[in-house]
Amino acid sequence: MAKKKIVILPRTRRILLEMGENIKLARLRRRLSSEQVAERANISRPTLSAIEKGAPTVSVGAYLLVLQVLGLEKDFSLVAKDDELGRKLQDAELSMAKRSPKRKND
């Protein structure tokens, strides 16, 4: 089965690039080599390099492991914390469409 191509919007791509740069700067400020961080996060050096470049193909778990090594895992918990749009929708009492039940594989 062929892999699906990941389509990343330019704005999202910039966010990933910035996050990768921030992770690299945090590593350098702590004077840790890429080898040290990769080993502590239990990932390969090429994966760490991809993270620092903001690669969309790297799992969120790998990003979180690196943040944990750098002591920045609490930053991850801030993602979607202030859901302004969600609160506005809730306040307007707009109902969300119900999802269909999952299909059972036979």
66 domain residue, yes or no: yes
Dihedral sign (CA 53, 68, 11, 28): negative
User: Does 86 score more than 90 pLDDT?
Assistant: no
Angle at 102 between CA 104 and CA 7, to 5 degrees: 115
96 domain residue, yes or no: no
SS3 category, 5? coil
CATH code for position 49: 1.10.260.40
Q: pLDDT tens, 8-37?
A: 899 999 999 999 999 999 999 999 999 999
pTM of the predicted model as reported, rounded to 2 decimal places = 0.74
Token pair recorded at residue 61: 């778990």
User: Does 97 score more than 70 pLDDT?
Assistant: no
Residue 53 per-residue DSSP state: T
SS3 category, 98? coil
Token pair recorded at residue 3: 């892999």
